[in-house]
Amino acid sequence: MTNEDWPAYYAVTVDRPAWWTTLAAADLFAAEDGPDVPPRLAVDLGCGAGRDSRALLRRGWRVIAVDREPAAIEALVAATRKRDRARLDARVADLATFTVPPCDLVVANVSLQFLPAARFARAWRSMAAAVGSGGRIAAMVYGDRDESAGDPGVTCASPRSIRARLRGFDVERWVDREEDGHMALGDPHHIHLVELVARRRAPAPQRPGAGAPTPAPGRPAT
Ligand SMILES: C[S@@+](CC[C@H](N)C(=O)[O-])C[C@H]1O[C@@H](n2cnc3c(N)ncnc32)[C@H](O)[C@@H]1O
């Protein structure tokens, strides 16, 4: 997809429902939260016209929505209900250098593939660092059998490598799917997507007295 296609993409997708990954993550939080929990914060990376951001706003979330294309941010803001706008912080920024702020939920649906490999890895580290224990990542990531694999500047990751990036998380939802389908603008495309929701584990409690290992008798400590 070229940059010139983005306004058409936003026009086609602005009224589409949120991706299931985002809704599943929001449902999981809702099942844990009591009635008096203050609005949670999500960061939507590569938000496009904001199908996910707006679904979260409608559920009372605060959202930081980020996209490199000003047209995306304009489409998102224009489509956001007035009553939700105070909880939306929409920013033009490049995910290649963006540091994800601390939040409850990071959403990254079909956006990270546009980062070259080193930036893709950096973005995952930033996403993982942004969520504390109990926080979640909801993502749809291009898999390595996608038709775009091998295109310059596009990163299609193997399901195994995506799992490896989720160290410290419990994977709550995981769909690895492949099909001959169509892109949003109608182009035929062999699609391979890994779709997931993962929750950051609480750190394991320290056992009393657990510290530096006791050196084996007769061997000097190193
Ligand atoms: C396929 S669209 C998906 C948009 C939205 N997540 C959705 O599912 O409707 C990918 C989005 O990522 C944005 N994007 C691509 N590369 C980016 C980058 N380096 N920094 C920020 N946004 C980027 C594009 O502008 C586009 O809006």
| Strand, coil or helix: 116 | coil
Task: Give CATH for domain 7-200.
Answer: 3.40.50.150
Give the separation between CA 123 and CA 184, rounded to whole angstroms: 24
Q: How many CB atoms lie within 10 A of CB 212?
A: 6
Give the separation between CA 39 and CA 43, rounded to whole angstroms: 13
User: How far from 32 is each of 22, 35, 115, 170, CA to CA, in Å?
Assistant: 16, 10, 34, 16
Amino acid (one-letter) located at 10: Y
| Nearest residue by C-alpha to atom 6 in ligand 1 | 47
pLDDT digits (tens, 9 = 90+) for 37-47: 999 999 999 99
- Cα 152 to ligand 1 centre (Å): 17
pLDDT on residue 221: 39
Domain parsing of the chain, residue ranges: 7-200
pLDDT on residue 90: 98
Both tokens of 100, joined, read 């994800």
User: How far from 183 is each of 26, 70, 71, 121, CA to CA, in Å?
Assistant: 26, 22, 19, 25
Both tokens of 89, joined, read 């912080």
pLDDT digits (tens, 9 = 90+) for 85-121: 999 999 999 999 999 999 999 999 999 999 999 999 9
- Cα 156 to ligand 1 centre (Å): 15
pTM for this predicted structure: 0.92
Intervals of the chain under pLDDT 70 = 1-4, 209-222
Please state the atom number of ligand 1 nearest to the C-alpha of residue 94. 20
